[in-house]
Amino acid sequence: MKLEPIKFENDELKIIDQTLLPNELKYINLTDLDSVCDAIRSLKIRGAPAIGITAAYGMYIAAKKLDTKISYEQMVKAGQKLKSTRPTAVNLSWSVDEILRQIKSLKSATMIDRIKTIDGSIHEQDYNACKKIGEHGNQLIPERAKILTHCNAGILATGGIGTALAPVYKAYETGKKIEVFVDETRPVGQGARLTYWELNYHHIPCTLITDNMAASLIAKKDIDLIIVGADRIAANGDIANKIGTYGLAVAAKYHKIPFYVAAPLTTIDMSIQSGDKIPIEIRDAQEILSFWNIRQNLNYKVYNTAFDITPHNLITAIITPVSVINNPNKKRLQNLIN
Ligand code: MRU
């Protein structure tokens, strides 16, 4: 079966409930705006491009419910609700704002159909972007490479073959004998539960490690390169990605191995000058406590930040659908966007 985390068929939105993976592969229907918001907030669907696509379909579901009462103002409200679910990945607000921009001057009666068309093109655009990232990124992967990745930036996180994992799929398809080391990715285990599972599903050799093993594997020269995704890229090339990414970039620099970031153009936010301005999501303490079975009434003080910032000077290159941006900086990103 072809893995598709988001399906829109017969006017219905279905997603794989990723909180059940890897033990159960189950699609759930999202039938109203609240269920779409809940699915994004609770990580049933996650990964920057995937939540952008889901939010776009959420706008259509909201529009259809409004029916004859639809107005631009009502759609702005629906968009605000979607945008409030998760703050870091810019793809979510990009989708919502793109829809609002395109319907602003339309007559109410034509809005619903137009949103559906835009949603289809957002989904398709991401599918094509992943394919191109795969082609560009594959050029950077040597034969027999040992590749480290963090979190899940694969099929499950996008509308296509992934961002960080797209070059991996392409390298494997072209016959390279690669191996992927998968960081567990605490606290909710997107690496252990999702990346390992989807790579294994596609027969790609992979090995699961705990997050705190990565630096020592790099030091032992067991890793040739690192590829991760991004939730937002600031104008100067700093990136936000899953907590733990920054430490990998520091270790990569110290041990002189390439550190690549793969992302579609919808992840670039030129309105934010540098990484320190990117809003970082703080998540519930329970995500950490429940892993260890620690009862809430023991009153642990917990800090659970979902993402960190990797400065651009630790990034060897950003792999985009258009080209590979070496030593990313503001000028290079500006040229890419224009
Ligand atoms: O909290 P998540 O699972 O949504 O975090 C996802 C990541 O950090 C991914 O690396 C990022 O969104 C890129 S996905 C192509």
What single string gives the DSSP state of each residue in 102-161?
HHTTS-HHHHHHHHHHHHHHHHHHHHHHHHHHHHHHHTT--TT-EEEE-S--SGGGSSSS
**Where are the chain's structural domains?**
6-131, 140-337
Cβ-based neighbour number of residue 321 at 10 Å: 22
Q: What is the pLDDT of residue 109?
A: 92
d(CA 128, CA 270): 22
The 10s digit of each residue's pLDDT in 126-159 is 999 999 999 999 999 999 999 999 999 999 999 9
Specify the CATH class of 140-337 in words.
Answer: alpha beta
Contact 52, 118 (CB under 8 A): no
Cα of 217 from ligand 1 centre, angstroms: 23
Helix axes 108-138, 90-103, angle to 10 degrees: 140
Q: What is the pLDDT of residue 127?
A: 98
Residue 24 has pLDDT above 90, yes or no: yes
Q: Which atom of ligand 1 is nearest to the CA of 162?
A: 15
d(CA 193, CA 23): 9
In CATH, what number does 6-131 get? 1.20.120.420
- For the residues 49-72, what does the mean pLDDT come to? 98
- Percent of the chain at pLDDT > 90 equals 99
Q: Is 167 in the pocket of ligand 1 (CB under 6 A)?
A: no
d(CA 51, CA 132): 20
Contact 33, 96 (CB under 8 A): no
The 10s digit of each residue's pLDDT in 108-128 is 999 999 999 999 999 999 999
Q: Which residues pair with 208 in a beta bridge?
A: 182
- Percent of the chain at pLDDT > 70 equals 100
Answer yes or no: 231 catalytic.
yes
Cβ-based neighbour number of residue 103 at 10 Å: 21
Q: Is 231 in the pocket of ligand 1 (CB under 6 A)?
A: yes
Predicted structure pTM score: 0.97
Cα of 113 from ligand 1 centre, angstroms: 30
Mean pLDDT of all residues belonging to the chain: 98
Q: What is the pLDDT of residue 296?
A: 84
Q: What is the pLDDT of residue 298?
A: 93
d(CA 175, CA 144): 10
Looking at 17, 231, 269, 308, which residue is catalytic?
231
Q: Is 189 in the pocket of ligand 1 (CB under 6 A)?
A: no
- For the residues 89-95, what does the mean pLDDT come to? 98
Residue 297 has pLDDT above 90, yes or no: no
Cα of 142 from ligand 1 centre, angstroms: 25
Tokens encoding 8: 């829109």
Q: What is the pLDDT of residue 293?
A: 93
Q: What is the pLDDT of residue 180?
A: 98
Same fold, 6-131 and 140-337: no
C-alpha pair distances (Å), 212 with each of 47, 182, 285, 295: 22, 12, 20, 25
Helices (H), the chain: 33-41, 48-66, 72-83, 90-103, 108-138, 166-173, 196-201, 214-219, 245-254, 286-289, 330-337
